[in-house]
Structure formats: structure tokens, C-alpha cells
Structure 1
């Protein structure tokens, strides 16, 4: 008798784009911090050990090179997610009632992790980080080509405002990464599933 093999928790396109994204984001963060250090927005600088590029020109070179890798990787993920039904099946729908319920359970430490199923908080976070990524790209383009993309700069309210938007979008994604790592520590089997694919419960 023919049986259907269980669908993996994470299919191979998700796993490959996830790990490429990890490498690209580390490079983008570190080179971005070096660029920030050249003209800080706030009264602090990032330690040199946490930056990439060695100097402003080197950091910009790294930032722009990895930007194309990150953009191509994101495009592959988005196209695959749309045509495979990943968005519709795993990230939607996202209802307000379910979100309220899961937040309440999380605050009282009663939210369970179902292997292979995203709860409402996870859906919100993953969809939110995609929006932040788009905001990061648009503000980054406005900073990179302020003359050629003057309309985009104006949309952000000016070059300086675009820099603040870029910084805070980067910080929000950094917070997402921290929360993501904490969840991996709490539920370590999720890491193995992202390496091997895992199986639905």
C-alpha cells in the first residue's frame, strides 16, 4: 500500500534561504555598524571588533556586495513562498482573536510550541520582519542614491530622516534576531528541524 511521506517542518528552499540569510545579515549588521561609526546618529559607536570593513570605504564595499546577495536570497524566498503556498498555508490567516489568545498564553507561560505549526505570535513576527526588511531596503536605497532617488528621499522626509528610519528598522530586526535565538535556546529541536527539515507532529 502506498503511503504519503510526512511533509517536513521546513522544506529545503526555506532552509537554504534561512542559512544564506543568516550569513548575509551578519555581514550587513557588521558593515553597517562600521558605516554608522563614520557618522554616528547618537552618542555612541560600535566597538571595532563588532564591525566589518576596517574603514568607511571597506565597510561600504562589504555592505553593497552583500546587499545583492541578500536581495537575491529574499527574492528567491518570496517567489517560492508565493507559488508553493507557504505564505497561505503557514503564515496566514492571522486573526486578532488568535493573536490576543496567544499573547495572553505567552504572558502567563502557557503558550505551547507545536512542532511544524506557527502560532499567531510567530506569524506576526515573521510577517513583521518582512515589512521591516522592505523598509530597510527602501531607506537604504534612499541613503545610497539620494540624488538619483530624490523622490524616495522625499518620501522619507529627507536624507537625515531616512538614516534614522534605516537605523531603527535595523534595530528592530536585531531585536527579532535576539528573540529568535532565545526561542531556539528554549526549544532547541527547532534548530535541528532547520538543519534537517524535521517532521510534522
Structure 2
């Protein structure tokens, strides 16, 4: 009798990229807050304990250094996910109707969760954070090299507007992280699976 081997819920490339991303995003956000504090856009600053770098020069150094790690990690993830069909299997199909139905179930705490399978809300959130990441990179490049990339700066409406876009995109990603952590706390079995790989449930 043939025995079907269960696949890991999260293949090792996904887990590796995930944890590299966790480290990189924490460093990027904290150093970004340090840069923001030097020239606030709004009437508040972030506590020094929540920043990285110690001063403006240090924050910029951290931001630029970790930026390359984040970009390299994203390129590896995108290449692997596209080549292995990961995105096609995990994120699609997706429809507004499915997102609405799953959102209602989630708010009522009736939405089931299966390791290795994303519901419509998760699919929408992951696709959304990928788009926010792209916006963050483009606006960051416009802020970093405003003279060399003047055309990109113009697309954002100017240097000042590029800073606002960068801030709001970062805020969107931070909000995603907060929701993501809350979901892990509500469904704690998902954390070990992101470390060990877990196993996809059999539908037999």
C-alpha cells in the first residue's frame, strides 16, 4: 500500500526568508524612526529606545546597510516563489467576495485555519504587504537619490511627498506586522510550523 508523504506546511526557503525578513524589517523600521526624528513630518517623534543607530548618521548607516539584505532576501523569495509556483498555489484564486466572507467569519472568530493553506483574508494581506513593500522601496530610492532619480521623485509629486508616501507605506507594514503577531497569538500552532516546517494536513 502506497503511503503519501505529507509536504511541509512551510518549505525551508519560505522559513529562511521569513526570519531574515523579520530581522531586516525590525532594523529598517527602528533605523527609519531614527531618521524620521531628525526631521519629523508630524507633531511627534519616536522614543529614542525605539530607534536604532543612536544619532542621524548611525541611523542612516543602519538603514542603508540592512536595505541591501532586505532587497536581496526579497529577490530570492520572489524568484523562488515564482519559479516553484508558490505564489500561484498560495495566493490565488482570490476574489473580493471571498475576502468579504472570510473577513466576516474572522471578526466572529469562526474562521478556521489550516497549516500551509491561506484563507482569503491572509491572501489579500500578503499581496497587500508585497505591494506596500514595492512602494516603500520606490519612495525610499526617491528620498535616497533625489537628484539622480529626479524622474522617480517627480512621480511622487516631489521630495516632500515621497517622504509622506514612505512614512505611510512603512506604517502600513507595521500595521500588518501587528495584525500578524496578534493572529499568531490567537493561533499559536502556526509559530512552531514557521520554525520546523510543520506538515500540511491530508484531505483523506
Provide Cα deviations, 1:5-57, integer angstroms capped at 9, x if missing partner: 21110000000000000000010011000000000000111111111111111
User: Aligned residues, how many?
Assistant: 201
Q: In the aligned structure 2, how far is the partner of 1:79 from the partner of 1:194?
A: 20
- Partner SS for 1:15: helix
Query: 5 Å matches for 1:59-78?
Result: 59-78=59-78
- Per-residue deviation, 1:105: 1.2
Query: 5 Å matches for 1:1-201?
Result: 1-201=1-201
Provide Cα deviations, 1:85-140, integer angstroms capped at 9, x if missing partner: 10001111111221121112122222111222100000000000000000000000
Q: What stretches of structure 1 move > 6 A for 4+ residues in a row?
A: none
What stretches of structure 2 of length at least 5 have no aligned partner?
none
Q: In the aligned structure 2, how far is the partner of 1:100 from the partner of 1:172?
A: 20
Q: In the aligned structure 1, how far is the partner of 2:66 from the partner of 2:168?
A: 20
TM-score by length of 1: 0.98
Q: In the aligned structure 1, how far is the partner of 2:76 from the partner of 2:85?
A: 14
Q: In the aligned structure 1, how far is the partner of 2:100 from the partner of 2:136?
A: 28
What stretches of structure 1 of length at least 5 have no aligned partner?
none
- Per-residue deviation, 1:2: 4.8
RMSD: 0.9
Q: In the aligned structure 2, how far is the partner of 1:16 from the partner of 1:107?
A: 31
Q: In the aligned structure 2, how far is the partner of 1:127 from the partner of 1:21?
A: 16
